[in-house]
Amino acid sequence: MPFLGQDWRSPGWSWIKTEDGWKRCDSCSQELRSENSQCTINHSIILNNGEEEIFSNECEYAAKKRKKEHFGNNTAAHSFYREKWIYVHKESTKERHGYCTLGEAFNRLDFLSAIQDIRRFTYVVKLLQLIAKSQLTSLSGVAQKNYFNILDKIVQKVLDDHQNPRLIKDLLQDLSSTLCILVRGVGKSVLVGNINIWICRLETVLNWQQQLQNLQMTKQVNSGLTLSDLPLHMLNNILYRFSDGWDIVTLGQVTPTLYMLSEDRRLWKKLCQYHFAEKQFCRHLILSEKGHIEWKLMYFTLQKYYPTKEQYGDTLHFCRHCSILFWKDSGHPCTAADPDSCFTPVSPQHFIDLFKF
């Protein structure tokens, strides 16, 4: 019997058992069969009899190649694992051979499911943004496929539910800037893969940016209690819970009352004190005509020079005892006597550093 799997020695045929014995059935898709027949018919008209046999072999080889690519494209880029954790090792040991890569982390930690969790969404977006800025050239072919597959799911999610468009716009802006520099200025000398593939990816990113630019927020009609119906002190408490100045500015554009609360000097002072130190205040002090400190302007000025504190609903954790990276909700098989004392939250930048070799 011939091989039935996708082995390189297999002729690519599958067989069915009938009353008359085993018969071969063509497993290739209808699309590939039509391409193969079209290729043979069109060229058999202009070729001589001696050349037809040669071209038939070439056309059959091309059809097999297309068939192989067809199966490869239908195979999911991600393999699904029951365990949502990964052992991080940077060198070979007696127990483990090789080292852990960023592509494996994308696979094992299941970022495709993580973006559906509102607590983890911002964390994954920030992680992809850092990779776009500094680690894009170090991605392997599998890591590239996983990276853009996750990014595609994120963009489609934002286009569907209209949530967090600003985060994705910033991510795509950094990614497009990096791709333009690499493709036009540097080229294939530092990129893993064909330069034409990267050009297509750049066009895809530009297309995503255009879709997000044309995104229209639909006004929801709700006859129940709305944000504007809340008392002033509750609205003020909500604003004080924000850690991002742009979120405060955006919320202040909803109603005149929220705009008045969003311009409170004490609110912006608290925000500056949360993110920055006093030494940084003194270097970029901005005063009004009356001699008061312009805390709102200071916040956006300091943001250009210094990093702000990051807040996430859920992050990856690293077990120092087991050297395992995992989502805290999923857990991992820790062998320590007191596992909780070994867990350390992993920021997006720390995640990148774990896979630098």
Model pLDDT for residues 109-147, shown as the tens digit of each residue: 888 888 888 888 999 999 999 999 888 888 888 888 889
Q: Is residue 39 part of a domain?
A: no
Q: Do 168 and 112 belong to one domain? A: yes
Angstrom distance (rounded) from CA 354 to CA 357: 8
The angle subtended at Cα 118 by Cα 116 and Cα 120, nearest 5°, is: 85
Structural domain that includes position 184: 95-214
Query: Does 89 map to a domain?
Result: no
Structural domain total, the chain: 2
253 and 183 in one domain? no
Last residue of a domain, one of 192, 214, 236: 214
Residue 262 and residue 198 in one domain: no
Q: pTM for the complete prediction?
A: 0.67
C-alpha closest to that of 317 among 338, 345, 348, 336 = 345
Task: Specify the pLDDT at position 45.
Answer: 36
Residues 205 and 251 in one domain: no
Place of tokens 């408490």: 237
pLDDT at 24 over 80: no
Over the stretch 95-111, which tens digit does the pLDDT of each residue have?
555 557 777 787 788 88
In whole angstroms, give the CA distance from residue 261 to residue 231. Answer: 12
| Residue 86 neighbours by CB under 8 Å, 6+ apart | 100, 104, 105, 108, 109, 324, 325, 326
Structural domain ending residue among the three candidates 285, 305, 325: 305
The answer as to whether 355 is a domain residue is no
Q: How does pLDDT run across 285-325, given as a tens digit for each residue?
A: 888 777 788 889 999 998 888 888 888 888 888 888 888 88
Is 51 inside a domain boundary?
no
> How far is 287 from 306, CA to CA, in rounded Å?
20
In 3D space, the residue among 148, 162, 150, 145 whose CA is nearest the CA of residue 211 turns out to be 162
Which of 264, 280, 305 finishes a domain?
Answer: 305
Above 60 in pLDDT, residue 186?
A: no
Of residues 48 and 239, more confidence is placed in: 239
Q: Which residues contact 178 (CB under 8 A, 6 or more apart)?
A: 132, 133, 136
Query: Is pLDDT of 355 > 80?
Result: no
